[in-house]
Amino acid sequence: MSTSTIDVQQLAINTIRTLSMDAVQAANSGHPGTPMALAPLTYAIWNNHLNYDPATPNWMGRDRFVLSCGHASMLLYSMIHLAEVSATDKNENPTDKISISIDDIKNFRQQHSPCAGHPEYGYAAGIETTTGPLGQGLGNSVGMAIAGKWLAATYDRPGYELFDYDTYTVCSDGDIMEGIGNEAASLAGHLKLSNLCWIYDDNEITIEGRTELAFSENVAARFEALGWQVITVTDANDLKALNSAYDQFKKCQDRPTLIIAKSIIGFGAPNKQDTSGAHGSPLGEEEIKLAKENYQWEAEKFHVPGEVYDDFRAGIGARGKQAYAVWAEKFEAYKNEFPKEAAEVEAIQSGELPTGWQDSIPTFDADEKGMATRVSSGKVLQKVCKAIPWFIGGSADLAGSNKSNNDDPDAGHFGANDFSGKNFHFGIREHVMAAICNGMSLSGIRAYGATFFVFTDYLRPSLRLSSIMHQPVFYIMTHDSIGLGEDGPTHQPVEHMAACRAIPNVLTMRPGDANEVAKCYQAAIENDKRPTVIVLSRQDMPTFDRSKFGSADGVLKGAYVLQDCDGTPDAILIGTGSEVPICVQAAAELEESGVKTRVVSMPCWKLFDEQSDQYRESVLPKSVTNRVAVEAGIKMGWEKYIGSEGKFIGMDSFGGSAPFEVLYEQFGITPAKVAEAAKP
């Protein structure tokens, strides 16, 4: 390597550092220390190893780069700018503009800048996922690696290796400490995801001080025990050692790789051991001046030397352009050789669904005994999985109970010995299941994850990020209420409907019979910019005779008139899930007493709220104030639909351990109690 090459590499590294310092200082907010320390490490990935075309940032065959330590966001923004990643339009096609400009960096953490405090997916091309809560990026990266393995096993053919991409993830002590990080590492090791590389910034610093305050484990030994290849780089500034480590990762074919890079936070800053400036706040003008003197940097703020752009153009720019050209040519030949598979790949890339997939949504015959909605959900799932081959997922150890297996004999089980399997086994790892589904979704897969509804407590942070990123992850949640019975209060989710409904942009659905389940699936899949939580019963529920009751198509509008009376009703009963049949029984009792009664099924508040004023008035006329809502959960939020004069039949405490019939009687969720509440 010539002296000039070494000099330009160091110049590029120092440019990353100075851009980070200047941006954080201008914002008077943020973390410059980690970008300063990790500039060499990240430079080496991007300019020497990342198989990525800046001119085609959404190329399906690209390597992925995830900055799990999102507080170091300026590191990512600097790389996107220096690599001159193209901006994309609303259809994700590249434009002639740069994704992140110098002006964007100057406005770091300011309104309307794509350079948010933590990386936000969708703000700028080159940001592969939203990372803020530590550990989430690790879970997402496992999902991306899984997607790569599945896509390759499903669509690659001899001579047509389209999906041999790798996922690089930079992480911090915080990512490694968080429980989700260990869940992700455990599953990745078990699955032998050789296309996954985590680079751990071992700087022994957290916001409170030295890691020895709370963390003393042998990380290398832990990861080796989890089935990872572990490589240690003793100096994060040593480009030769870093490049060697990345080469070792790419050669390893039987396990994921952890590179432990020893760094000094805020490297180059005069008080480099003082975390107050390097990690948690701007350095200050005086320390920036001293740091730049250490770099022999005399340029103005936000300066990028022309040689640095040239270096990236000659590195990732030229390498990526060539790699994409080869891939694109290969894919054109693939389209001629394998048109069916190519059409599916293009649909995955564009987010489109197969023509006529809605025809797979089944219709269930009327049945007084009926079935649990978890059972009807399983039946609908089989049809949808067959219609949409990339609608794939699995359960956190409860597939038999929540009916989430794809029963097609050819579906198979995803694992180290068969990456083409469509049934995923996440183990008892609810949180990382959701984060992995996010990573799969970000890779074009229509992913679903399943568990008991009460365990949304464990996965809620990742569900929240599904929503923030507008990812259509499908959450199959069973054992929805006190109706699960004997397992008792710990497993009975009385407050969870309110908690999930509170998350913006999430469709939370609780269907009232098998045909409502089917329509919930349709609504969820058609809503491709937000996640859905479908909440399903353990106990059987009748399947309504739709020749006598309202069409289940009303589910697509969130709520509808299931059963009506002649003229203006004296009372409106509103139910969800297993309480809809209770409302129907109560209505019969009320009608016998001369009370004209309407029954409204309201499986999804959010969809109903999005309907026109006229439609909502047609279902819940303002003139009828005698309303009773019935749900085996807490009242929170129902006030909006029942008004100040309405009543609520449900829970205001935790449940109990007994057969579900006994519990419904104990807590007063019965037709008689509903009818009593509704009588004028």
Instruction: Give me the helices (H) in 502-579, please.
Output: 514-526
Is-contact 253 194, C-beta < 8 A?
yes
- Per-residue pLDDT at 289: 87
* 480-495: pLDDT as tens digits: 999 999 999 999 999 9
| Residue 282 pLDDT | 85
Residue 2 has pLDDT above 60, yes or no: no
Residue 230 CA: distances (Å) to CA of 242, 256, 475, 505: 13, 9, 34, 40
User: What is the C-alpha separation between 653 and 44, in angstroms, rounded?
Assistant: 56
Task: Please tell me the distance from the alpha carbon of residue 645 to that of residue 403, in angstroms, as a whole number.
Answer: 40
Q: What is the C-alpha end-to-end distance of the chain, expressed in Å?
A: 89
Residue 369: pLDDT over 50: yes
Please give the Cα distance from 20 to 472 (Å, whole number).
34
Q: Provide the pLDDT confidence category of residue 140 given band limits of 50, 70 and 90.
A: very high
**Residue 594: left if φ>0, alpha if ψ -120 to 50, beta else—which one?**
left
Give the pairing of strands 560-563 and 597-601. antiparallel
Rounded to whole angstroms, the Cα distance separating 303 from 40 reads 18
Flag whether pLDDT at 221 surpasses 60: yes
pLDDT of 3 reads: 44
Active-site pick, 128, 287, 430, 631? 430
pLDDT at 213 (0 to 100):
83
Spatial distance between the Cα atoms of 215 and 230, rounded to a whole number of angstroms: 19
The two beta strands, 367-372 and 540-543, are: antiparallel
Kindly tell me if the per-residue pLDDT of 276 is higher than 90: no
Q: State the CB neighbour count (10 A cutoff) for residue 200.
A: 27
Q: How many CB atoms lie within 10 A of CB 336?
A: 8
430: annotated active-site residue: yes
For residue 518, pLDDT beyond 80:
yes
Residue 436 CA to residue 445 CA, distance in Å, equals 11
Bridge pairing between strands 507-509 and 532-535:
parallel
pLDDT band at residue 280 using 50, 70 and 90 as cut-offs: low
For residue 299, the model assigns a pLDDT of 83
666: left (phi over 0), alpha (psi -120 to 50) or beta: alpha
Q: Is the pLDDT of residue 77 over 60?
A: yes
pTM: 0.96
Least confident of 65-69, 299-303, 586-590: 299-303
Q: What is the pLDDT of residue 15?
A: 97
Mean local confidence (pLDDT), 640-647: 96
Contacts of 433 (CB under 8 A, 6+ apart): 396, 426, 449, 451, 459
Average pLDDT, the chain: 95
Write b or e for each residue in 28-38: b if 16 or more Cβ atoms lie within 10 A of its Cβ, otherwise e: eebbbbbbbbb
CA distance 67 to 58: 17
**Is residue 619 predicted with pLDDT exceeding 90?**
yes
State residue 265's pLDDT score: 73
Residue with tokens 């269930």: 364
Residue 143, amino acid = G
Element holding 648 (H helix, E strand): strand 647-651
Residue 351 and residue 340: Cα distance in Å, rounded? 16
Position 433 pLDDT exceeds 70:
yes
Domains of the chain: 3-325 (3.40.50.970), 357-542 (3.40.50.970), 557-678 (3.40.50.920)
> How confident is residue 654, by pLDDT bands cut at 50, 70 and 90?
very high
Please give the pLDDT value at position 268.
56
Predicted confidence band of residue 290 (pLDDT cuts 50, 70, 90): confident
Asked whether residue 272 carries a pLDDT value surpassing 50, the answer given is no
